[in-house]
Amino acid sequence: MVTAPDVEVIHLQMKGSQLDKKDFFGKSDPYLDFTVVHRTEVIKNTLNPTWAPFRATARALCNGDYDRSILVKCWDWNSNGNPELIGEFSTNLRELTRGPGPTNAYEVSLLTCRVEQEYSFLDYIQSGDKLFPALGFGARFPDMSVQHEFALNFTPQNPYCNGIQGVLGAYNNAIKSVQLYGPTNFAPCINHVAKFAATKRDGSCYFVLLIITDGVISDMPQTMQAIVNSYDIQFVPFREFSQRYGNSSVAVAQAALAREVLAEIPEQVTSYMKMNGFLPRQPSSHAPSAPPPVR
């Protein structure tokens, strides 16, 4: 038995030829039902349908077993909710991957079958080195200067912190060295991260900007322009969650906000990597270099 990896995805397209006529005043309204796995769209009033391509994981299609029988039924759709069976056939993934030909020709025949590896969010992040560049903003330094974009570990040439504990350690150290100070300007940090990300388009890095603040935005026009210029950064206003949860505690709304924001990241990362043809890399022992601060 040959078993397909979990990340193997099968892309299929089927067509029908001279199917049985089931409708008294028309032809048929056929659709395919890959038992348990997938149901195609209904194509109205035809005996020669071509269904849209679809995708399914090898695990879902046949439990990853290339030789396991796959039952496909062709139905005629009826508005009363009682479809009529036009026909059925059995095949397996091994036959399908051989592509169009006599072994994949029935009254319903194969147009395309393509197998590709599809990597998960974990495949990409586990090859990373767990280093996070961390920036501070809105702080007055001992020399009385106010900065709105500085390395939280005070090392602009290497602003990376080792894991979340490293970020927390850098913050705890910084808070003892600087004074929290207004105004609250977001644009410098956004511009810095956008420039940072623009230098890393080879798939070796993926940047998610998280801004933690309890203050208002003092440079709103500049912040809006920075977001437009970067075009990849998304803001999720906390007030939407506080309104949604009404009398619930702030902690409940904060948890809901965190879930929604974090839930978007895996799909964004994998979509970006797939769109650009980037594969997961081996772990690196060296942190990416940082661009010069944006002024």
Rounded CA-CA distance 120/193 in Å is 25
Q: Is the pLDDT of residue 291 over 60?
A: no
Rounded CA-CA distance 113/105 in Å is 13
Q: Is the pLDDT of residue 252 over 50?
A: yes
Whole-angstrom CA distances from 80 to 20, 77, 83, 84, 103 are 19, 9, 8, 11, 35
Other CB atoms within 10 Å distance of the CB of residue 61? 24
In the block, which residue shows the tokens 């028309």?
26
The answer to whether 289 and 278 are in contact (CB under 8 A) is no
Could you tell me what percent of the chain has a pLDDT over 90?
43
Angle among Cα 282, 287, 291 to the nearest 5 degrees reads 130
Give residue 4's pLDDT. 45
Q: For every residue of 221-246, which 3-state class applies, written as one string? A: HHHHHHHHHHCCCCCCCHHHHHHHHC
Q: Is the pLDDT of residue 283 over 70?
A: no
Which of 51, 183, 174 is closest to 112 using CA atoms?
Answer: 51
Which of 16, 44, 47 is closest to 29 using CA atoms?
Answer: 44
Residues 6+ apart with CB under 8 A from 24: none
Rounded CA-CA distance 85/73 in Å is 7
Phi, psi values for residue 105, rounded to 5°:
-120, 115
The model's pLDDT over 131-180, given as tens digits with 9 standing for 90+, comes to 888 999 999 999 999 999 999 999 998 999 998 899 999 999 999 999 98
Helix (H) or strand (E) holding 3: none
Q: Which of 80-94, 95-109, 148-162, 178-192 has the lowest mean pLDDT?
A: 95-109
Q: Helices 220-230 and 187-198 sit at what angle, rounded to 10 degrees?
A: 10
Taken in order of first residue, the domains within the chain and their CATH numbers are 8-118 (2.60.40.150), 122-275 (no CATH)
Locate 181 and state its tokens. Answer: 């100070």
Phi, psi values for residue 136, rounded to 5°:
-110, 160
What is the chain's length? 295
Rounded CA-CA distance 3/67 in Å is 9
Q: 150 has which bridge partners?
A: 136
Whole-angstrom CA distances from 13 to 127, 209, 260 are 34, 40, 34
Give residue 295's pLDDT. 42
Which of 35, 128, 102 is closest to 75 using CA atoms?
Answer: 35
The answer to whether 131 and 150 are in contact (CB under 8 A) is no
Whole-angstrom CA distances from 39 to 31, 53, 230 are 7, 11, 40
Q: What's the pTM? A: 0.56
Alpha-carbon 1 to chain mean position: 32
